[in-house]
Structure 1
Amino acid sequence: MDTSIKSSQRTLALFELFSLEQRPLTIKQITDALDIPQSSASVLTKSLVSLGYLEKNEQNRTYYPTLRVSLLGTWMRRQHQRAGQLPALLSEVARLTGESTILAMRNGMYSQYLIAQKGSSPTRAQVESGMLYPLACCSTGWCLLTLERKDVVGKIVRRTISEAKEDYWRETARNAIEQVQLTQSRGYAFSKGETMRGLGAIAILLPSMPGAYAMSAGCGGRIERVEAKKDLILDALNELARSVRTLKEREEHFLFS
């Protein structure tokens, strides 16, 4: 991988880590969380300190984002201020169902988790923001693929079978076209072990926010538990969709009035 690309990925991963942890971090904590060499973490943080994006506390040797980072997104927060309510809406789904809930968007041939809220069940699905799963092998991906032409879906499936890093995904991707068609006909997707063995998830396509990519929301855990809670999960996800639709209408009024 090109060194500049790797450096960019690590920089973004670091700020996503701060967003997740919401506290100062040491070099060791950064190294462990990002799974990078300590020397790389030291070079990265030193560079960001010199640029004014990180502040170093010399006393306890921790790092924390500066106000400069917060100001980077000020203009976007003004334009999409209501989208900031999405984490709270997802948390409500997790609270009602007891299962982990995620908001996903398409990233190439993958479904990427933008926001992840862990459920309250002791055996909940372990989800984190930034996770990537093949579109052809997960419920949020099947929802997103309903927006594509059949030939495009076919290309993604073939590419997944050829390139997926897990042999398991190469096998489960073979049923993706059928799953996408089923999702279109019933209005939701239901994975039962295609993404991870033993885990299932129900997902729906969400109304698109102005200026944003298409998004889907999913709720999942152990297959048998998700099957037992199917109606509850669908009710919670559909209520989420109604709330997002209301946000969309308000955002459109704000942007174009």
Structure 2
Amino acid sequence: MKPLIYSTRDAEINKIGWRRCGENITYFRNDLSNGETVEEATYTLSFNLTLPYDDDEVYLAHCYPYTYSDLQDYLLKLQNHPVKSTFSSLRLLCRSLAGNSVYYLTITAPSLVDVPKRKKAIVITSRVHPGETPSSWMMKGFLDFLTGDSTQAKELREKFIFKLIPMLNPDGVIVGNNRCSLTGRDLNRQYRTVIRETYPPVWHTKLLIRRLMEECGVIMYCDLHAHSRKHNVFIYGCENKQCLDKRLQEQVFPLMLHKNAAD
């Protein structure tokens, strides 16, 4: 729970950006809530902070920020890159409630005429919860890797079509929400919705996946998040209690990840 600070003076003088700060950090349930259940309770984060300079402009954050502007800058550089732009394309998935662009990337090696085998698709989304900024940093790292010139990246581009939605909830990111969109609802709980006008990113993501399933098949879908308590990397999957085959299939990729990145 240690917060982050960005000091304008520190950046100008010492070239220091965001860094962890604060002492005597405590997080506890307070008595301000009228609710009786754990879900209705409210909590207080308390810490002591000594500002490094007088006459300074400082910013505080819960996690290392990754803004909508950061994403736009990254996507622009990717599309202007002389090599990476040859196997990546940027498209508009939809407009959010506030009219912001929800982008999706297609990354794959150009198909060869003499290779008739149809590629399967892999869909990866991120930042449905605005406060989970590490998910955006994971997406950036994955994009850096996938568009790189390593043997593994080239092989992945040859074998699969990657569809990536880097920021599902730009409205929430822009206004500083922690979990919700402008509707005040958690978009991650709206995947059963049929209301396109209220939850356009979710509706159009489902439409994209449905179209891919019809055209080429989707071999994997992964939604990147962050967690306030758990450490390192972990995966939540669909249990599929009624179908043993599907339940075992869900465990294949986590097992592969464990075997190849056990450290």
TM-score (norm 1): 0.27
Higher share in helix: 1
| Structure with larger RCO (C-alpha < 8 A, sep 6+) | 2
Q: Which structure's CA Rg is the greater one?
A: 2
